[in-house]
Amino acid sequence: MSRPESGGETADGVGDEAVLLAGHGSRRERSNEQVRELAAAFESRLGVPADAGFLELAEPAIPEAIAGLAPTVSQVTVVHLSLFAASHVKNDVPLAVKRARSEFPTTEVNNGAHLGIHPAILDLLDDRARAVEADLGVDREADDVAVVLCARGSSDPDANGDVHKLARLLYEGRAFSRAEAAFIGVTEPLLDGVLHTVAKSRPDAVVVLPYMLGDGVLTGRIRDGAAAFDEEYPYVDAAAGDPLGTDSRLLDVLADRWQEARTGSVEMSCDTCKYKVELDGYEEDVGGARAMLRALTHQGEHRDRENVADDPHTHDAPDKHVAVCTNQTCAADGAPAVLERLRQEVRDGDTDARVTRSSCLGRCGEGPAVAVYPDGVWYGGVDKEDASRLVNALERDRIVSDLVDQTL
């Protein structure tokens, strides 16, 4: 795949560039799909190719995702899907970006900030709270309603501090009787203790808001905690709301973080970052040495494998690489749908293949075009309904003859 020769900016200021949403990754595939859905929606919003990459537990890994984008564009911007700035944001992703800059010196790789505290997120949380109030039959304007914002919890004091700040901002200007921050693990105050403390003020209702993107195991624990509290205190109605999910308002936050990164205006809270300054109890973490140690350890794990097939990593090279042209002509003919269907078929099947987008493959008018390597087989006029046949052919090391455009 070669980079288009134009490389200039379009009229709206968006040039030959792509976006990578960096998610954490989950054992629940539905949570991973939510990240991919956000990437697809973000692509539609910006008109810029957008992919998803993961830190762990899901594919593709962030270095692989960057490698799939960097050769085809002149600029890749990494936008974090982390709610707060802890070690992943401060260490892991920057390390992957630094390596990508070395591997792809002709591509500008930008690193954005975490989602953080944003007016759109406050509005979203407010709506989540109102939905719970409606279910409980209470109204904060007329009733005594407390809200508890419950996050995962972190070993990073800066991230935990932002949870408390967000809870306070949710309280400001709204008619909640009180707003508290809580955590479901790792640090205190834990949700159970906060709920019991709130109960002492005898509110009419307590709204518990899970501050998480996906609806996973921890969200379930928060719901269980709210339900147990509701049963234990009959004079207080309590229930938990939904996580942030894929609400379109998250795209507003992502768009702002994207613009900050691509214009060099990212701001991090370095004055309270344990990797930058010495904080009581976190002296050994200053400088981010743990990230470097983790990287060196992981490299050692690669070298020590006796049999790669028996001990694979998610970022090992695949047997097959499938490139889908999503440039203007192919995109108009349905290439994005082909790309996503191929990825779904690969995920659902038993194929060691990586499906990535490509810029122009030089077969305009004959697309959507799909190239398979190392086979050197190019397909033309591919429809999303052809995806299962193509993946089935990959599994059997065959070709789909009626779709072959050329072989190299």
Cβ-based neighbour number of residue 188 at 10 Å? 11
Q: What is the CATH number of the domain that holds 361?
A: 3.40.30.10
Same domain, 328 and 309: no
Q: Alpha-carbon torsion 185, 186, 191, 192, what sign?
A: positive
One domain, residues 102 and 15: yes
Residue holding tokens 């808001």? 209
Summarize the confidence of residues 170-177 as an average pLDDT.
96
Same domain assignment for residues 235 and 123? yes
Residues 151 and 219 in one domain: yes
Q: Which of 316, 340, 355 is the last residue of a domain?
A: 316
Point out the domain boundary residue: 316, 347, 368.
Answer: 316
What mean pLDDT comes out for the span 18-40? 92
Average pLDDT taken over every residue of the chain = 86
What per-residue confidence (pLDDT) applies to 285?
Answer: 62
| Alpha carbon distances (Å) from 290 to 181, 284, 285 | 28, 9, 7
Same domain, 168 and 281: no
Q: Which pLDDT band, with edges at 50, 70 and 90, does 197 fall under?
A: very high
Model confidence at 75: pLDDT above 70: yes
pLDDT 10s digits, 48-71: 999 999 998 889 999 999 999 999
Are 67 and 33 within 8 A, CB to CB? no
Looking at the structure, tell me whether residues 139 and 40 fall in a common domain: no
Q: What percent of the chain has pLDDT over 70?
A: 84
Pairing of strands 320-325, 370-373: antiparallel
Q: What tens digit of pLDDT does each residue of 256-310 get?
A: 999 999 988 887 766 566 666 666 776 666 555 455 555 555 556 555 555 655 5
Are 55 and 106 within one domain? yes
| Position with higher pLDDT, 8 vs 45 | 45
Number of structural domains found in the chain? 3
The radius of gyration of the chain from alpha carbons, rounded to an integer in Å, stands at 24
Amino acid (1-letter code) at residue 56: E
E strands of 24-100, at which residues?
50-54, 75-80
45 and 72 co-located in one domain: yes
pLDDT for 105-161, tens place per residue?
999 999 999 999 999 999 999 999 999 999 999 999 999 999 999 999 998 898 999
Considering the domain architecture, whether residues 109 and 126 belong to the same structural domain is answered as: no
Range of the domain at 322: 317-408
Whether residue 363 sits in one domain with residue 281: no
- Structure tokens belonging to residue 178: 């009180």
Q: What is the pLDDT of residues 109-122, one digit of tens each?
A: 999 999 999 999 99
Instruction: Supply the CATH number for residue 43's domain.
Output: 3.40.50.1400
Question: Are 210 and 222 in contact, with CB atoms under 8 Å apart?
Answer: yes
- Kindly state the tokens that stand for 149: 């914002």
Residue 14: band (very low, low, confident or very high) from pLDDT cuts 50, 70, 90: very low
pLDDT at residue number 10? 38
Q: How many percent of the chain have pLDDT more than 90?
A: 59
Residue pair 360/4 in contact (Cβ under 8 Å)? The answer is yes
Q: In sequence order, which residues have a C-beta less than 8 Å from that of residue 232 and are 6 or more positions away?
A: none
The rounded distance, in Å, linking the Cα atoms of 366 and 380 is: 6
Q: Tell me how far apart the alpha carbons of residues 179 and 269 are, in angstroms, rounded to a whole number.
A: 24
Please identify, among 222, 240, 258, the residue that sits at the C-terminal boundary of a domain: 240
Judged against a pLDDT cut of 70, whether residue 5 lies above it is answered with: no
